[in-house]
Structure formats: C-alpha cells, structure tokens
Amino acid sequence: MLDTLYIENIAVIEKTTIDFTGGFNVLTGETGAGKSIVIDSINAILGNRTSKELIRTGAKKASVCAQFSGISQEVREQLENMGCVNEDDGDSLVISREISASGKNVCRVNCVPVPVSALRELGSRLVDIHGQHESYELFSGDRHRGYIDDYANTSLLLGEYRELFHSLKDLKHRLDAAESDDNDRERRIDILKYRINEIEQADIFDGELESLKEERLSLRNSEKITSAVASAHSLLEGDDEYGVLSALRASAQSLDEIAPLLRQAGELSQRLDSAYYEIDDCINSLSSLLSERDDSEQRLEEVEQRLALIEKIMRKYGPEYSDVMESLESGREELAALESYEEDMEALLDEYNELAQQALELAGEISQMRKAGAEEFVAAVQAQLRELDMPNVRLVVNIERTKLTENGMDKIELLISANPGEEPKPVSKIASGGELSRIMLSIKNVLSDSDGAATMIFDEIDTGISGSAAQRVGMKLKSVSNGRQVICVTHQAQIAALADSHYLIKKDVKDDKTFTSVLRLTFEQRKYELARIIGGINITDITLRHAEEMLNLKSES
C-alpha cells in the first residue's frame, strides 16, 4: 500500500508530506485547494505523462517521492528483473521522480535510476486510479471489451492471438503488393535492371572519388609541376663535370685515396657513396615523373570523364559509397523477389491461409471465454449496483461477431435498462452522471480481484450523486477498503464521514504567494470539516451536531 507521499514544488504545493494509513482514506477541501494536485503527483510517480508546467512558479525543479509497503510477489519479481530490489527490506519500495524546468525527468526506484517506462510498468501493479472523467469510458465500446477481457482473464490467449494477427496482417500487405498490376511490376523490373546495370557498369571502388580528385588537381597544375621537376633533375644530374652527382662521385674518390692514411676519410667516403646512390635514385625517379607528364593532357581528360561518371552515380544513389552499394544490393533483392513472383505468390498464399485458420480458431476460443465471462460479470456488477441503490438496473453484454481484428472477432457493448419494462440501450443514451459514477464503481469493484494493485484511488467518484446514493457509495468504498487501501477525493460528507483517516487540503495566501498544505484531521477537526461540507460558509451548531452524529454512527458501525 501507499504509506507516504512527499511533494515538493508541484503547482501551489511548496512542500508537504502525506502519511496515508491502511483502510479508507479521504481527501477533502475547498474547490481549487489542490486536491487534483495530489492526484497529479501520484500519477507522476506512477509513470504517467507530466508537464514542466506543473513546476511551482519560481522553482527550477519539482519532485515527488512515494513509499510503498507490503508489495506483492509479482512486484518483487519485477524489481528483481529491473535490479532495483531493496536489500534491507524486500517488502518495501520507494519511487521518486524529479521534473526540471528544461523538461528533463529523473526517475528512481529504490535509488536506482530507471526510465519513465519502468515507473509505468510498476505503477499498474501498485495503484489503480479512477478519475471522475473515467466514468465516460463507459461510452467506449473498446473499454467494454476490456472489462470483459479483464474479468474473463483472456490476456494470455489474446496476446498469443495478437502476435498471430500481426503476422497475418503483414502477410496480407505482402500479398497485396505481390498482386499489384502486372504492368507496374514489369515497369518496376525494368527500373531495377537499369539501376543495377548502371551501378555495376560504373564499377566504382571505395575511395576512388577522392583519389581521382587528388589526381585531377595534380594534372591541372601539370606545367608548374613539370617545370619544378625538370629544374630539380637538372640541378642534381648536371653534366659530366658539374652537378651534384658528379661532385659526390669526385668527393668520394678523393677521400678514398687518403683512406689508408686517415680512417675517418674512409668512413666519409662510404657515406658519400651512399648519398651518391640515393641521389642517383632520386634522379631516376624525377626522370620517370618527367616522362609521365608527357601524356598529362590525355590523362586529365580520362580523369575528368571518370569523375563525371562517379559523381553522377553518387548523385543518383549516394551521397556516400555505402549508399550506392546498399542501393545495388536492395535492387538485386527486390528484382529477385519480383522475378520469382509466381513461386512467391503461391508460398505466401499457403502461409496466409494457414495463419488465418489458426487465428480464426484462437479468436473462437477467446470469444467463448468472453461469453462465459460476460454472464458472470453481469451478475457480479448487478449485485454491486443493488448495494448502491440501483436495484432495478439490468445490465446486458451484447456480443456480435465481426471480421478478425486485433482484438479478436467480437464487438462488445454494455447495454443497460434503468427501469423495469425498458429495453436495454447503450449506456450513453440512458445513464445520468450519478448513475455513470455508480456503474463505474461497481465495475471497478468487480474487476478489483483481477488486478494486483493493493491501492485503489477514486478521484471524485461521487460526481452527480447525493443523499442516500452518496451514503451507499461511501459504504461500498468502505467495504472495498477492508481488503485493500482506498484513497478517495470527495465532496460528500456522507462519504468523508466513513473514512478511517481524513485529510484536509487547505490553500492559504501569504506574501502574495499561494501555499497548499495537507493536514490529517482529529475527531474535532473532522466535525468542522464535515460541517463545512454540509453547510458551506456558515457553520452552525446544528451542522456541527449533524457532523458529530455522522462520525459517531461510523464509529458504531
């Protein structure tokens, strides 16, 4: 259950801690005091979508922290999978979420950083929140199907069916594509063949474009390069008497003659010989470069033509070499698939028919589970409605067969008859706001055994009801709290009086700033809060006595 909720800088709440108890907890307060902010804060730590607009004006960030105890085995297993087990106390869990003004969220489970999606997965097993707007889910056929599926526990079989259905849908797309107009197919084959041939004929290799651009730069400056090379060649080679090469040779010979007389002369002679051969090799290389420059104009033309071809291929299929190769490979694969059309069509059709039969059988099993579950669901909900002062309401689950969809082959709609003798009609055409709230509460109670959430939160479930109906809703909530923790935001004194713990959400203005606080009320404080709910601004002795009587009756029950 939810033990403690800490809220900091969320809307008008600067900082507050709420210590919830087991059983039935209620939150009351004036309209606009901040009751919805508490629910928004709980939604935040459950991984639901939040906005940086929630951050209190002037603050850089907001945070919410919640501590849970007595977590289920299912939650413990999930924490183990996430690596977030509390080693000191395996039955407890702490979730926190920080929202910054930049929109960044930092989420932690037992001090371990996790993504928001992890909070959503945990949240669905920890808390079930029913807001006032959720009553209008009763207008949605998809939600009707969801109720029956939850009650009939079709999730495993439905998951298996959906995997099969998605495979079937994918095959259908492929069949439709394969059965497209033959002219389009032939036209596509021609396009692919042209693309493949064009890339293959170009025969580009990785890095060729850069290499050719480098060579083109050299060829375009051929005259300057030739002049420099020729000058270097002339200076090094010279003639028989003048030049670096002849000078090295003469120097080496001169030193060689005195080598017997001076050891260092011999060593220098050898070094000059080495330099002679190195320079001679450079002269040969320069000669080769000069000969290569002779056909530079022809080579420049060849390079320009090759570059134009490569750049054309890159523009069409690039911009990178890897993109060109990917285009070639994908073209070959698509061409092979199109050319094996007849063979593939037959194989796809066989596979489709086999999957369709399997899907049909699974959908049939799910349909039978829904029909059996619907009968029990109706009986259970009607029993709840009788306890909520709606004894004459008759609920019917209408199931019609449809073509295969992601959810099977059933269209499911809840119909109600509010009075004896009336034919059942869609909920949206019959139920009032108060009736919707009670019907939704009944459904939640019936389905509560099918979910693992130890805490149920009802946000203004009393919308549209009063008097004995409100009293019965309060008694039902009190009854539900015997098996789990219930937290309820209410405007009804009849409901608030039945609570085990009563919290007042109060708004104050100080120094032109708004502050909201949450206070757990004593018996005397509860009297005045109930009297306020009953009588409004003017609290009289009569309303106080009425409030005290309501609290005493609750204690005696």
354 belongs to a structural domain: no
Predicted TM-score (pTM) above 0.75: no
Residue-level pLDDT at 136:
59
Are residues 484 and 557 part of one domain? no
Question: Please, how many CA atoms are within 13 Å of residue 494, restricted to the half-sphere of its CB?
Answer: 15
Contacts of 15 (CB under 8 A, 6+ apart): 7, 8, 9
CB 71 within 8 A of CB 85: no
350 belongs to a structural domain: no
**Tokens read off for 136:** 């209008």
User: What is the arithmetic mean of pLDDT over 125-129?
Assistant: 85
CA 461 to CA 444: how far, in whole Å?
Answer: 11
CA-to-CA separations, 540 to 315, 497, 533, in angstroms, rounded: 86, 18, 12
Three-class DSSP labels, 150-194: HHHCCHHHHHHHHHHHHHHHHHHHHHHHHCCCHHHHHHHHHHHHH
8 belongs to a structural domain: yes
**Tokens read off for 216:** 């083109």
Per-residue pLDDT tens digits for 349-398: 889 999 999 999 999 999 999 999 999 999 998 888 888 878 888 888 99
Q: Which pLDDT band, with edges at 50, 70 and 90, does 517 fall under?
A: confident
Write down the mean pLDDT value for the chain: 84
332 belongs to a structural domain: yes
Domain end marker among 336, 359, 379? 336
Please report, as a single letter, which amino acid is at residue 280: D
CA 204 to CA 345: how far, in whole Å?
Answer: 36
Contacts of 132 (CB under 8 A, 6+ apart): 437, 459, 460, 461, 463
Are residues 302 and 206 part of one domain? yes
Q: Which pLDDT band, with edges at 50, 70 and 90, does 167 fall under?
A: very high
Sign of the dihedral defined by the CA atoms of residues 83, 89, 90, 96, in that order: negative
Per-residue pLDDT tens digits for 195-220: 999 999 988 888 888 888 887 887 77
Q: Which pLDDT band, with edges at 50, 70 and 90, does 450 fall under?
A: low
**H or E element that contains 109:** strand 105-109
Assess whether pLDDT exceeds 60 at residue 452: no
279 belongs to a structural domain: yes
Number of domains in the chain: 3
CA 176 to CA 170: how far, in whole Å?
Answer: 10
Are residues 535 and 499 part of one domain? no
100 belongs to a structural domain: yes
219 belongs to a structural domain: yes
User: What is the arithmetic mean of pLDDT over 89-115?
Assistant: 89
Q: Shortest CA distance to 324 belongs to which of 205, 189, 213?
A: 205
Are residues 218 and 95 part of one domain? no
**Tokens read off for 193:** 């063949």
Domain end marker among 336, 363, 392? 336
CA-to-CA separations, 508 to 170, 325, 518, in angstroms, rounded: 59, 69, 11
Are residues 206 and 100 part of one domain? no
Q: Shortest CA distance to 2 belongs to which of 334, 445, 455, 440?
A: 455
Are residues 276 and 208 part of one domain? yes
Sign of the dihedral defined by the CA atoms of residues 202, 207, 213, 214, in that order: negative
Q: Which pLDDT band, with edges at 50, 70 and 90, does 293 fall under?
A: low
The DSSP bridge pattern shows strands 24-28 and 485-489 to be: parallel
- The residues with which 455 forms a beta bridge, in sequence order, are 127, 485
Are residues 5 and 97 part of one domain? yes
In percent, the amount of the chain with pLDDT more than 70 equals 92
CA-to-CA separations, 302 to 85, 96, 207, 223, 228, in angstroms, rounded: 70, 69, 18, 18, 24
Assess whether pLDDT exceeds 90 at residue 87: no
Are residues 294 and 251 part of one domain? yes
Assess whether pLDDT exceeds 70 at residue 430: no
Torsion of Cα atoms, 317 then 323 then 327 then 330, to 10°: -160
Neighbours of 451 (CB within 10 A): 13
Query: For 100-114, 287-301, 489-503, which range has the lowest pLDDT when averaged over its residues?
Result: 287-301
488 belongs to a structural domain: yes
Q: Which pLDDT band, with edges at 50, 70 and 90, does 253 fall under?
A: confident
CA 108 to CA 97: how far, in whole Å?
Answer: 6
Are residues 93 and 205 part of one domain? no
Assess whether pLDDT exceeds 80 at residue 232: no
CB 131 within 8 A of CB 83: no
CA-to-CA separations, 494 to 26, 473, 476, 533, 554, in angstroms, rounded: 11, 9, 12, 10, 10
Residue-level pLDDT at 406:
92
Q: Structural domain of residue 555, as residue ranges?
A: 530-557
Residue-level pLDDT at 342:
66
In the sheet that holds 2-10, the strands lie side by side as: 13-19, 2-10, 61-68, 93-100, 105-109, 112-114
Per-residue pLDDT tens digits for 434-445: 677 778 888 888
**Three-class SS state of 446:** helix
**Tokens 């945990």, residue located:** 122
Are residues 92 and 19 part of one domain? yes
Domain end marker among 290, 312, 336? 336
| CATH at residue 504 | 3.40.50.300
Residue-level pLDDT at 555:
63
Are residues 99 and 210 part of one domain? no
Are residues 534 and 507 part of one domain? no
